[in-house]
Amino acid sequence: MNMSNNAAQPVHIDRVRKTFGEFVAVRELSLDIEAGEFVTFLGPSGCGKSTTLKMLSGLLPQDSGEIRFGNKRIDMLPANKRNIGLVFQNYALFPHMSVAENIAFGLRMRGWSRADKDKRVEQLLQLVRLEGLGNRKPEQLSGGQQQRVAVARALAFNPDLVLLDEPLSNLDAKLREQVRLDLRDIQRRANQTTIFVTHDQVEALVMSDRIVLMNKGGVEQVGTPYELYATPATEFGARFVGANNLIAGTLDKSSGAIQARIGPETVQPVSTHSNNVEKDGMDIWYCVRPEHVAMRPQSSAGHFGGRVMDKIYQGTTVLIDLDVKGLGTVRAERPALEVGDLGVGTDVGVHIERSHAVARLG
């Protein structure tokens, strides 16, 4: 069900830059976001993602560049003229107002009639699955319900863009899992162009159409969750998004195929998503996800020799630290039923099912 009365707007960010004295917070950021798309800015603290959000919302002026919603340039407008819905970490609900009054607050400030306000509030209560709770106060709701009220309020006046500033950070781990799915479902049904800011890679992978991975004020990579996880373009991306075994090696293209040489003899085929990984003999990181490390009987052909050093039980899966000849310490993640009887000290054959190469800098 599409609950929006207005067509979703695309967002165009063109060479936006922000500095604080000598510190460059955002470096010439350019990005096109499609109408109705859910885009996440992901990265560590200080990477520039929150500064970008503040420039989009009008809370901070950019030093240079342009921001457009559709064909309309909005970066010269004050914050209250940009038609943006904001959801913050603390939700910022008015405790003395009911749920319905909180949702209708922005509509009242915009002069909507009583009948139109009531109709819109009922639509939004249905959208966020809070039917029948309009008369409750925020203190009578769970954390997840309060989050949905904050989202409903941000959507109420049909904004051109919704900005979510780490809105799940105050929820406990179990509730976060459910609210992630709630937010994604609401966004899809509302068909609302949305930018989400987080440092949590799991949130980004679960919720996004595309992810903008940021580091030191710049963009490391833009892609779908699968692209960032399966084909990292840089060493930073390989380290930040998901667990990875990074093993120093060199690129070997002598056979015409892209391979990784680790030590004097070990050669393994690799994939690469980076234009920087192209020169034969260059230093690379041989990247292997723990779930792509398999174990077989030690006598199996085509395997590295390894020994189990430690096991960490996680319920459905087990993390296994291996000492692998030629590779060093490697972590595997396997289904618990597959390795339940594999003891510490056991010698195994280690097989790499999939690998990736990124340039090794410095």
Which parts of the chain sit beneath pLDDT 50?
1-5
* Residue 223, helix vs strand vs coil: strand
pLDDT of residue 11: 96
pLDDT of residue 350: 93
Q: What is the pLDDT of residues 258-277, one digit of tens each?
A: 899 998 888 888 888 777 77
Task: Please provide residue 293's backbone torsions phi and psi, each rounded to the nearest 5 degrees.
Answer: -105, 115
The model's pTM is 0.89
Q: What is the pLDDT of residues 42-60, one digit of tens each?
A: 999 999 999 999 999 999 9
What are residue 305's DSSP bridge partners?
Answer: 349
Helix (H) or strand (E) holding 235: helix 235-240
pLDDT of residue 347: 92
pLDDT of residue 1: 37
pLDDT of residue 213: 98
235-359 to CATH, choices 2.40.50.100, 3.40.50.970, 3.90.79.10, 3.40.50.720: 2.40.50.100
**Residue from 295, 291, 289, 290 nearest 307 by CA:** 295
H helix intervals, 138-200: 143-155, 173-190
Rounded CA-CA distance 220/170 in Å is: 28
**Residue from 326, 254, 262, 339 nearest 295 by CA:** 339
Helix (H) or strand (E) holding 102: helix 99-109
Burial of 45 (0-12, 13-18, 19+ CB in 10 A): exposed
CATH architecture of the domain formed by 11-230: 3-Layer(aba) Sandwich (3.40)
Domain positions in the chain: 11-230, 235-359
pLDDT of residue 240: 95
pLDDT of residue 301: 62
- Asked, colleague to colleague, whether 11-230 and 235-359 share their fold, the answer is no
